[in-house]
Homo-oligomer: A and B are copies of this chain.
Amino acid sequence: MFSQVYSGPTRSKGDRLGADRERQMATIKDVAARVGVSVATVSNALNGKPNVGSAVRRKVLRAAKDLGYRPHRAAQAMRKGRTRAIGLVLPDLTNPFFPQLAQTVENKARKLGLLVCLIDSQDSPEGEADGLTLLAQHGVDGIIWCPVGPRIPRPIHTFGRPVVLIDRPRPGFAVVHSNNLMGGQLLAQYALRHGHTRVGLLSGPRSVESAQQRRNGFVTAHPQQIEIAWEVRVGFDGILPPEACAALLERRGATLVVAGNDLIAINALRWLTQHDVRVPEDVSIVGFDDISWARIVSPRLTTVAQPLVAIGTRAVELLEERLCGAVIASRATVFDVTLVERESVKSI
C-alpha cells in the first residue's frame, strides 16, 4: 500500500504506456529503486564492470530498458571529463567543398555515438577563435578542424584536446587530406593525352600548401613536354584578379587552363563565356575538387575528385582513436584522388 503511494511519483515517469516520457528522463536512481539495488551497482552493471552478478545485471539492464533510461551526459561529463561530443570547425559552409564533408563527419560520428558541434568561422580568424573557445567551454573531447589561417594561432584553445586537421596540414598536428601532388600529375598526364602542350595556370594561393602541391604535381610531371605559357595566382574563393582575366583573354598560345580549384575554374569559365570565348572549343579548362557545381555548369567541368567521404570518415576515426587514449604521433593520412572526365576539355 504505502509502497505504491511512495512509488507513485517515481513510476509516473516511464511506466505509463511504456514509451511515454513525461518531461524528466529516468535517472540511474529510478533504475536502482525499481530493481531494489544501489545506484553504484546499476552504474557498474550498465558499464559492464565485473563486480555484479549475472542475475542482478540482467534485471538492471531490463529495468533500464523499460524505463527508457539514458545516461545524463552532462553528469557523465562531470565525472569522467568526457562529453562524447566533438567540434567540427569549418571556414565556410557556403563553399561547396564543405557541406559533404560536414555531412560525412556528422554521420560517421553519430555511428560512434559522438555528437558533432558545428562552428562556421565565415573565414574569420576571430570567429574561429570564438568558436574554439565555445567548444572548449562545452568540453568537447576533440576537434576536427579545417583552419582558416596559414598558421595555428599561438595561444590556441585546444586545451590539450586531440585535434585532427582536414585538408590543411600544420606542423605538429595530425591531418587527413588528398594527394594533391598526385592530382596535379593526373592532370598533366590527361592534358598530354589530349594533346595540350602549352597551358596557362590559374594556381591557388602560394600560402596554401595544397594549392602548391597541385601546381607542383602538374608542373613537374612532364616538364619537357608541357610548357607553361603563363601563371597567375588566384585565391581559393575563385575571385579572379585583373591579371587573371587578362591572361584568359589573351591566352598566349595556351590551349588549356589549369585552375587551382573548381571555384577558380568555374569563374574562369564564366568570364570566358561572357567574352565570347567558347569552352572547350576555343580553350579547355580543368579544375580541382569536383564540387557539386562542377556537374552543373556547362560545359560540365573536367576535374580531380577528392574522396570527401573517405576523408571525413577517416578524420572521425582518427579522432576517436585519440579520444580513446591512443597517443599516436601526429601523422598525415593521404588519400588518392581520381580524375573525372567531363566536357570542358577538347582533344587537339
Contacts and interface: CB of A to CB of B under 8 A. Distances in A.
Interface in A98-155: 98-100, 102-103, 106-107, 110, 113, 115-120, 122, 127, 130-131, 133-139, 155
B74 A78 contact: yes
A92 B104 CA distance: 11
A195 interface: no
Given A117-B116, A273-B298, A292-B94, A139 B74 contact: yes
This protein's copies in its complex: 2
B270 A155 contact: no
Contact of A94 (B19, B100, B298): B100
A134 to B, nearest CB: 6
B107 A103 contact: no
B110 A119 contact: yes
B119 A106 contact: yes
Contacts of A92: 103
A102 B93 contact: yes
A10 B71 CA distance: 31
A135 B21 CA distance: 16
Nearest to A88: B118
A16 interface: no
A160 interface: yes
B110 A25 contact: no
A62 interface: no
Interface of A: 19-23, 25, 70-75, 77-78, 83-85, 88, 92-94, 96, 98-100, 102-103, 106-107, 110, 113, 115-120, 122, 127, 130-131, 133-139, 155, 159-160, 266, 270, 273, 292-293, 296-298
